[in-house]
Amino acid sequence: MSPETAPMDAPSQAGSPVVPGRGTGSHEVTVRVPATSANLGPGYDCLGLCLDLWDEVSVSVFDGRGVEIDVTGEGEHTIARDESHLVIATIRRALADLGHPDPRCGLMLHAHNRIAQSRGLGSSAAAIVAGLALGWGIARPGQPLDRDWALAVATQIEGHPDNAAPAIFGGAQLSWLDGDSASAADVISHASGARESISVSAVHHVDLEIDPRIHPVVFVPQRRVPTSAARAVMPHSVPHDDAVRQVLSACLLVTSLSHHPEHLMAATQDWLHQPFRRDLMPESADLIDQLRACGVPAVISGAGSTVLALGTTDQLAGVAGADTRDFAVHQVGFGAGVQLHA
Ligand SMILES: Nc1ncnc2c1ncn2[C@@H]1O[C@H](COP(=O)(O)OP(=O)(O)OP(=O)(O)O)[C@@H](O)[C@H]1O
Ligand SMILES: N[C@@H](CCO)C(=O)O
């Protein structure tokens, strides 16, 4: 395999704090939370995998009210430094859910982000999962994270479980909601119209084996595509013929990932979301066309704009035939689920 590669920012050792604690009145809680790639072509809103690329976040509680937020790395010039910061907002949600006596407590947060935002690498799911794990660490110090609880709450916040499941459980995950609801928003509105909590038993996931011959490569462009914009262009219905082809592709992807990488080209075809999102990310759509023409199984990662190639060394050799100059190319490897140190 010979794609142009750039070194990833090496993660620090698990368990080492991001920065020395400055909080007063509480010990520091630290999490490492991974990037994820959802959809994988035909698995819209239900398939996702975890990448070996991590945000590291620590928090401590101080006496009084308010927040102090320090961000380095991705988003250091753009991310909010107030209560609207997604990790902070989610910590408070977790504290309330877990019956902490003071969910409005003062919070000091340090984040070192490596996951590019609004590029289809699950940055929002990572921030939500980080917030839930940190909230758990504050409210339940020393207890192992209840990952099923985290998945249910993350799904309610994010609306779909396909990034949250691998961010929490690692590897590749198939995830879904009970009943005929496609999204958490449906579950909420069907329930009563109010924002009720999704019951933990309403969100499901299964681990999918990944054939050791398969490797991921990500091609990250400069263009940002907010997930909300990418979901706004989705049609309400698709032709039956396309739905039939999608079923085959999605089924084939599950078995190709686990045991039959030779079928990954056919298994990564999609008729449900990528065609409708092309105009939002023309460079990425063009790169996918080039890569697939060279025999590389390539898809839009999540809602875009990153391109994900998933293949064997032989399949990935085709990357050399594509023009990747406008993309940062990383051979990342597969990751594990969120790590909490409380
Ligand atoms: N580390 C972070 N800290 C705080 N907020 C974050 C962080 N990462 C993401 N966010 C919030 O989430 C937004 C990006 O979420 P969005 O759903 O658009 O993209 P994504 O999650 O990166 O992509 P995808 O869902 O397609 O994988 C950012 O604009 C920011 O508001
Ligand atoms: N399944 C989601 C992933 C991004 O959050 C989508 O494609 O919109």
pLDDT tens-digit profile of 116-136?
A: 999 999 999 999 999 999 999
- The reply to whether ipTM tops 0.95 is yes
pLDDT over threshold 50, residue 22: no
Pocket test for ligand 1, best of 86, 107, 110 (most atoms within 8 A of CB): 86
Indicate the residue type of 304: G
Q: Is the CB of residue 273 below 6 angstroms from any atom belonging to ligand 2?
A: yes
Q: Output the DSSP codes for 114-167.
A: -SPTTSSS-HHHHHHHHHHHHHHHHHSTTSPP-HHHHHHHHHHHHSSSTTHHHH
Pocket test for ligand 1, best of 44, 58, 123 (most atoms within 8 A of CB): 123
pTM: 0.90
pLDDT over threshold 70, residue 198: no
Pocket, ligand 1, Cβ cutoff 6 A:
38, 55, 75, 79, 85-87, 111, 113, 117-125, 127, 163, 226-227, 302-303
Q: Helices 147-158 & 184-191, crossing angle to 10 degrees?
A: 80
Condensed to tens digits (0 to 9), the pLDDT of residues 243-300 reads 999 999 999 999 999 999 999 999 999 999 999 999 999 999 999 999 999 999 999 9
Confidence band, pLDDT 50/70/90 cuts, at residue 181: low
